[in-house]
Structure 1
Amino acid sequence: MTTQGWILAVLAAMAVGMAKGGLAMVAILAVPLLSLVMSPVQAAGMMLPVYVASDIGGLIAFRRDFDLGVLATALPGAVGGVTLGWATAHLVPDWGVTLIVGLIGLVFALNALIRPDLSAAPRRTSLPKGSFWGGLAGYTSFVSHSGAPPWQVYVQPLRLPTVIYAGTTTWFFAVVNWVKLVPYAALGQLSASNLKAAAILTPVALASVWIGFRLVRIIPQVLFYKLITWGLLAVSLRLIWQALAG
């Protein structure tokens, strides 16, 4: 890679690590950053080992802070979504999935900002909703590591405590990333060059887990959800622009 490519790769690795430390929305920037200097497919293949390695740090940090009920309703659908992504990998263009993810996130963020009262009362977990949004998160995560917006549509209205929200998100995507290793390997996305770059970037990501872990514990809960909503809005607009421009 060029010097510019390595700079973007380091930033992407930091984003992944901070996300595993609890700042979930930051990770969605990783593949778009690298896509500025390489194909999205190569970027996704390079970053998956970094995600998996960073998951270990995130799981240690949140080993007790997660909601098992939320995971039970969302993970079965997520595994199905990854399987669907594998089966249709050569049929659906990347820009189409990117556009769908962006539109979902945009609608949800605008609804939360315009009508915040709807999210004031916590909702209950739901197997049908968890299966649908978990499945969509698994599918979009398989294609471009962009599963955060669909995941947030399901989880944010539950109004989990800040640390539990962060921990549950970390556990959910850790399982999804482990499941993705098999189809990624089968599709040839874990090439020797990608694995070599990932090995260089992994220490950066692991160091960044601590940064995210500390930040998520000092940010007030109300501010935390506002930051998530505005972050989702910004990233969704970026994804829509990326899809239409490409």
Structure 2
Amino acid sequence: MTDLPAHAWALLIAGALVVGLSKTALPGSATLAVVVFAAVLPARSSTAALLVLLIVGDMMALALYRRHADWNTLVRLAPAVAVGIALGALFLALGDDQLVRRGIGAVLLSLVVITLMLRRSPARPSAGRAARIGYGALGGFTTMVANAGGPVMSLYFLAARFDVRAFLGTAAWFFAIVNIAKLPIVAGLGLLSPPVLWIDLLLVPAVIVGGLVGWKLAGRLSQRMFDRVVLTLTAATALYLLVGPA
């Protein structure tokens, strides 16, 4: 996998930059990195490679927003998230690259549809017990299978009516805990191979640069326009993963 063409490395670097941006300024935009990594690398390997980079981004987010978390929300989400992670680990253990690739495409396309439906609804989504269980389980499953839990949990945190700092702080702790918990599972499945770790080592600087740029640009970008671009690109690539060549 380390013997990749130049255009593939360019895409991976862009994906790593987005990881950093998603952790310090634009929550949920890491879905674009999921799409890029899954399109360039074998599906199972892409999940492992991206996980390590997400943890690097999580450490940057904690350095900036760690004091603003809502711990009651995190504790209440834990059981449903754990169930979702367990189901996702089973899916990864039993599925081959083609199945995981299709699964990632289906997950991402579903997230786009759900997000668009909720945005057009005049009523804001509820953050009650049912929503907590549903979002938590789906977030755990999608983050385990495709590192795509960001959009799911962003919707839940918005439904909980967090202000910006509480949103970023709670998200920072949530994903730091979940991603570190996933690491031994991914290692146990044999996905953290030497080529994957070498790719991560080369891409860590891009995550750091993306995080610093996000920190500087936070609050200065049009979130609405960026969301539209991410949703459009995610939908297009999700369709490619579903119907394109394996």
Paired position in structure 1 for 2:86:
83
Residue range with higher mean Cα deviation, 133-142 or 146-155: 146-155
Letter in 2 for 1:241: L
1:102 paired to 2:109: yes
Q: Do the aligned partners of 1:184 and 1:190 also contact (CA within 8 Å) in 2?
A: yes
Q: Do the aligned partners of 2:68 and 2:170 also contact (CA within 8 Å) in 1?
A: yes
Q: Do the aligned partners of 1:101 and 1:150 also contact (CA within 8 Å) in 2?
A: no
Residue 204 (structure 1) shift: 1.6
1:52 paired to 2:50: no
Paired position in structure 2 for 1:118:
123
Q: Distance in 1 between matches of 2:171 and 2:219?
A: 15
Give SS of 1:180's match: helix
Q: Distance in 2 between matches of 1:46 and 1:85?
A: 17
Q: Do the aligned partners of 2:142 and 2:149 also contact (CA within 8 Å) in 1?
A: yes
1:242 paired to 2:240: yes
Superposition TM-score, scaled by structure 1 size: 0.85
Q: Distance in 1 between matches of 2:161 and 2:84?
A: 24
Where do 1:66-77 residues align within 5 Å? 66-77=69-80
Q: Do the aligned partners of 1:25 and 1:228 also contact (CA within 8 Å) in 2?
A: no
Q: Distance in 2 between matches of 1:230 and 1:184?
A: 32
Q: Do the aligned partners of 2:29 and 2:151 also contact (CA within 8 Å) in 1?
A: no
1:203 paired to 2:201: no
Classify 1:216/1:109 alpha carbon distance in 2 versus 1 (closer, same or farther; 3 Å): farther
Letter in 2 for 1:200: L
Q: Distance in 2 between matches of 1:212 and 1:75?
A: 28
Q: Distance in 1 between matches of 2:74 and 2:109?
A: 24
Q: Do the aligned partners of 2:135 and 2:152 also contact (CA within 8 Å) in 1?
A: yes
Classify 1:127/1:110 alpha carbon distance in 2 versus 1 (closer, same or farther; 3 Å): closer
Structure 2 counterpart of 1:63, from 63, 66, 72: 66
Q: Distance in 2 between matches of 1:22 and 1:205?
A: 13
Residue range with higher mean Cα deviation, 226-235 or 72-81: 226-235
Letter in 2 for 1:242: Y
Q: Distance in 1 between matches of 2:79 and 2:218?
A: 27
1:170 paired to 2:168: no
Calculate the aligned-residue CA RMSD, in Å.
2.4
Q: Do the aligned partners of 1:105 and 1:150 also contact (CA within 8 Å) in 2?
A: no
Q: Do the aligned partners of 2:104 and 2:238 also contact (CA within 8 Å) in 1?
A: no
Structure 1 counterpart of 2:181, from 179, 183, 206: 179
Classify 1:96/1:200 alpha carbon distance in 2 versus 1 (closer, same or farther; 3 Å): closer
Give SS of 1:189's match: coil
Paired position in structure 2 for 1:43:
46
Q: Distance in 2 between matches of 1:40 and 1:237?
A: 17
Q: Do the aligned partners of 2:18 and 2:32 also contact (CA within 8 Å) in 1?
A: yes
Residue range with higher mean Cα deviation, 175-184 or 68-77: 68-77
Residue range with higher mean Cα deviation, 61-70 or 183-192: 61-70
Q: Deviations over 1:112-150 (max 9, x none)?
A: 1x23x413xx85x43442232112111111111111232
State how many pairs are aligned: 237
Could you list the runs of 5+ residues in structure 2 that have no partner in the other structure? none
Q: Do the aligned partners of 2:16 and 2:33 also contact (CA within 8 Å) in 1?
A: yes
Residue 97 (structure 1) shift: 4.7
Classify 1:29/1:212 alpha carbon distance in 2 versus 1 (closer, same or farther; 3 Å): same
Residue range with higher mean Cα deviation, 207-216 or 24-33: 207-216
